[in-house]
Amino acid sequence: MPIIVNPIQLLQEMGQSVWLDGLQRDLVRSGQLRRWVHDGLISGVTYNAHVHCRAVCAQQAYADDIRSLGAGGSSPEQIRLTLLVEDARAAAELMAPMYRRTSGLEGLVSLPCMTSSPDPELVAADARMTWTSINHPNALIEVAPTPNGILALRQLVGAGINVVMAPIFSVERYREILDACASGLEDRKQSGAAIDAIAVITSFAINRIDNFIDSRLSQVHGRLEALAQRWLNGTASALARIAYQPF
């Protein structure tokens, strides 16, 4: 009989971590997320606004909390934020053993910064509040990778808060994030605080660029068509190599 190879395990053998993009309550309460973690299939969980919104509207697991919070006078936005924090806290608690076992390399759970303000001071303050509300060291706070977001990044790293800045589309922005992270670590070191348990994650949206370029290449005809065909599906890997050059 042919041997069935799990593609997720193959990725992990190559040093890649697989994260679940879609924090939602039923996955935690049903035990499904715990099984995936136990089987070594999932190394982290990210928040996806569309997935979470659909889950809140469709899953009975949210109904009682929504009614209770509404009856207590909470606004729709306050209810949304409360549900988000509760889901992130439950997932972070479930992932905590993996986080400890891997010394913080795996077992992380992300939640977005709640403010849409461009003011870096307000972004940093909101991220601190969210971090404190979750109250787990394996939480990650998502901050938009804008110039002001990068200013907030330095403050958050200096405060010992884990941060996600994604997606990014240029090596220049990547270097700016590295510089802000290094400055935040230096600030924290000078204050006498530990710097060995802070996670900062960023990622290039190379799939979006690859899809865009491929859509253009597929429209090339005539004498350049053969050359365009050879370039199909090559943009992502080329961008990844460029992104790794700063290392």
Q: Are 161 and 132 in contact (CB under 8 A)?
A: no
The answer, as to whether pTM is greater than 0.75, is yes
What are the residues facing 139 on neighbouring strands? 109
Instruction: Show the tokens assigned to 65.
Output: 């909390």
Q: Per-residue pLDDT for the chain (247 aa), expressed as one digit of tens each? A: 566 677 888 887 888 888 999 889 999 999 999 999 988 889 999 988 888 888 988 888 899 999 999 999 999 989 989 999 999 999 999 999 999 999 999 999 999 888 878 899 999 999 999 999 999 999 999 999 999 999 999 999 999 999 999 889 888 999 999 999 999 999 999 999 999 889 999 988 888 888 888 898 888 888 888 888 888 888 888 888 888 877 6
Identify the pLDDT of residue 231.
Answer: 83
pLDDT tens, residue by residue, 88-102: 999 999 999 999 999
